[in-house]
Amino acid sequence: MDRRDFIKHSGVVTSALLAPNSGLGQSSSGREATASNGVKQGGASVIVAGGGIAGLSAAYELMKRGHEVTVLEASGRAGGHVRTMHDPLADGLYADLGAEQCTKPGYELYRAYAAEFGLELLPYPRRVNQLTYIRDKPYTEEMLRDQKVLLEFGFSKREASYMSEHGINKLPSLFYRPYLDAFEDEYQPLGVGLDDLDYMSMKDLLKREKASDRALLYFGGSSSSALQALWNAAILKHRKVPMVPTELFRIKGGNQRMIDAFAKRLGSRIRLGSPVTKIEHSDSGVTVHFKEFGDAQSMTADYLVNAIPLMILQRIPIEPYWSEEKAWVIKNTTYDFQSRIVFQARTPFWKREGYSPNIACRLPHLHLIWEMAEEVKGDRSILIGSANAGTTPEQALNAYRQRYPGESIEIEHALAHHWIQDPWSPVCERQVFGLGKLKRFWPEIIRPHGRIHFAGAYADNLSWGQEAATRSASRVAREIDEAS
């Protein structure tokens, strides 16, 4: 099990209604619509493909700068992998099925949007007082800071001492520290004297740093690049964010409220039910062909912002074709995916029995479980978790029964949301690049291709969901604005 897997186991319809287009001029079936009547003199016309948080925030930033924007969203709702469920939950309860949280520090742009839109951020203690199962035995956080327990696991005395002070999830920092100051620019991992480490696995690096066999088992992936792991750790250090943050926040009422706030401001610039079917581009502009609820359309603009997952983008014909470098990146970028589990409890039974709702179950049918919507008044409560793709509600509930340490489980409703079945937002965060691949991916994955720019959780240096999405969107808006 590598570090990512260890952490995984330990650790809506928008308000933008369909209305006559006010973005890039009028389009009609079977003929091209060209951009006209710019908002500001010299302003650019921009098509944004994808109405997730990256596409919406890019469009919002471009709109504020005076550019003409149209967002083409393939599904019938905006938000992508940000989605809050209300029905069929009872008593005003809700559950975030996708994007989960933000940190502080970190997520500066995301938190600034929350403040601008009047959205309240609530503390989200989903990783606090967590019960973690190791070898099918439960351990409290206090137990996992006990040097005797850690030594029994097989960690070295040095490692046990470090984890006793900092926590088990922060052990990699003990081995990373000598390297991190080499990364002075968080967007430049190459050319800092460590390029050879891209061909070294984390397992081999930890061996070189005298890590124990137990540390290698938990954190020493054999297929992940040591350079990328060190670079990501350096980014977090630069942002003053722990490797596995426990001080988390979420939007009161659900993270979908951020999507709805963007959509309200963008209005009819968002065109729902409009999947892109073909892209044509040149030195002077981009033409995007799409279907609007089945009706063939096309639209021309100065720029295109791609804010859809690359695994979907690679299925869309483009003329002329991508460069060899960009085509390789689009084809080889891989993503995580999982199912979201939601339990509606008749009462918060764990509180009555004196247990934390936060459990690292570390089972295929239930990786983690925690509480949310706790600010909603009433007797009922929500537990939410993650599981392997395809897990059924019954399988998840059986897994929870195996792991919950108390006697009474009052779950009255169990649901599973399978993102992999979503045709437009099936995947989560970008996975690591792999041994020896960093030079091919970076910075090509964020580099514009002519007049096509790239935004999304995949298109930033650290692929942390909503933070990467908003940061990449801000970068793209700035690039287009400066080029116009």
Three-state SS at 85:
strand
The pLDDT > 70 percentage for the chain reads: 92
CB 63 within 8 A of CB 263: no
Indicate the range of 1-10, 393-402, 431-440 predicted with least confidence.
1-10
User: Is the bond into 20 cis (omega within 30 degrees of 0)?
Assistant: no
Q: Has residue 101 got a pLDDT over 50?
A: yes
In which band, very low, low, confident or very high, does the pLDDT at 17 lie, cut at 50, 70 and 90? very low
Alpha-carbon gap, residue 147 to 160, rounded angstroms: 5
User: In this predicted model, what pLDDT tens digit does every residue of 300-327 receive, in sequence order?
Assistant: 999 999 999 999 999 999 999 999 999 9
Backbone angles phi, psi at 34, to 5 degrees: -100, 150
Q: In this predicted structure, what is the pLDDT of residue 42? A: 73
In which band, very low, low, confident or very high, does the pLDDT at 11 lie, cut at 50, 70 and 90? very low
Q: Could you identify the residue written with the tokens 């963008």?
A: 266
Higher pLDDT, 40 or 351: 351
Q: Has residue 54 got a pLDDT over 80?
A: yes
Higher pLDDT, 257 or 16: 257
C-alpha dist (Å) from residue 7 to 309, 367, 384: 24, 10, 17
Q: Has residue 266 got a pLDDT over 50?
A: yes
In which band, very low, low, confident or very high, does the pLDDT at 221 lie, cut at 50, 70 and 90? confident
Q: Which residue type sits at 447?
A: R
Secondary element (H or E) of residue 366: strand 366-372
Mean pLDDT of 86-91: 96
Give the Cα-Cα-Cα angle 341, 342, 343 (nearest 5 degrees): 125
Give Cα 442 distance to the centre of its chain: 19
User: In this predicted model, what pLDDT tens digit does every residue of 107-121 receive, in sequence order?
Assistant: 999 999 999 999 999
Backbone angles phi, psi at 298, to 5 degrees: -150, 155
Alpha-carbon gap, residue 298 to 292, rounded angstroms: 10
Q: In this predicted structure, what is the pLDDT of residue 16? A: 30
Q: Has residue 25 got a pLDDT over 60?
A: no
In which band, very low, low, confident or very high, does the pLDDT at 173 lie, cut at 50, 70 and 90? very high
Alpha-carbon gap, residue 383 to 405, rounded angstroms: 15
Q: Has residue 9 got a pLDDT over 50?
A: no
Instruction: Name, in order, each residue with C-beta under 8 angstroms of 464's C-beta and a sequence gap of 6 or more.
Output: 106, 429, 457
Q: In this predicted structure, what is the pLDDT of residue 40? A: 59
Q: In this predicted structure, what is the pLDDT of residue 453? A: 98
Count of all residues that appear for the chain in the document: 484
Q: Burial level of 465, CB count in 10 A (0-12/13-18/19+)?
A: buried
Indicate the range of 35-49, 375-389, 402-416 predicted with least confidence.
35-49
**Inter-axis angle of helices 53-64 and 256-266, to 10 degrees?**
40
Q: In this predicted structure, what is the pLDDT of residue 6? A: 39
Alpha-carbon gap, residue 198 to 372, rounded angstroms: 39
User: In this predicted model, what pLDDT tens digit does every residue of 408-451 receive, in sequence order?
Assistant: 999 999 999 999 999 999 998 999 999 999 999 999 999 999 99
Q: Which residue type sits at 121?
A: L
Mean pLDDT of 382-405: 98
Task: Note every long-range contact of 186-194, with CB atoms under 8 Å and residues 24 or more positions apart, other chains counting.
Answer: 186/234, 186/235, 186/238, 186/239, 186/461, 187/443, 187/461, 189/227, 189/228, 189/231, 189/438, 189/442, 189/461, 190/438, 190/439, 190/442, 194/227, 194/230
pTM above 0.85, yes or no: yes
Q: Taking the CA atoms of 75, 79, 80 and 83 in sequence, report the sign of the dihedral they define.
A: negative
CB 309 within 8 A of CB 74: no
User: In this predicted model, what pLDDT tens digit does every residue of 133-153 receive, in sequence order?
Assistant: 999 999 999 999 999 999 999
Q: In this predicted structure, what is the pLDDT of residue 72? A: 98
Q: In this predicted structure, what is the pLDDT of residue 23? A: 34
Q: In this predicted structure, what is the pLDDT of residue 39? A: 54
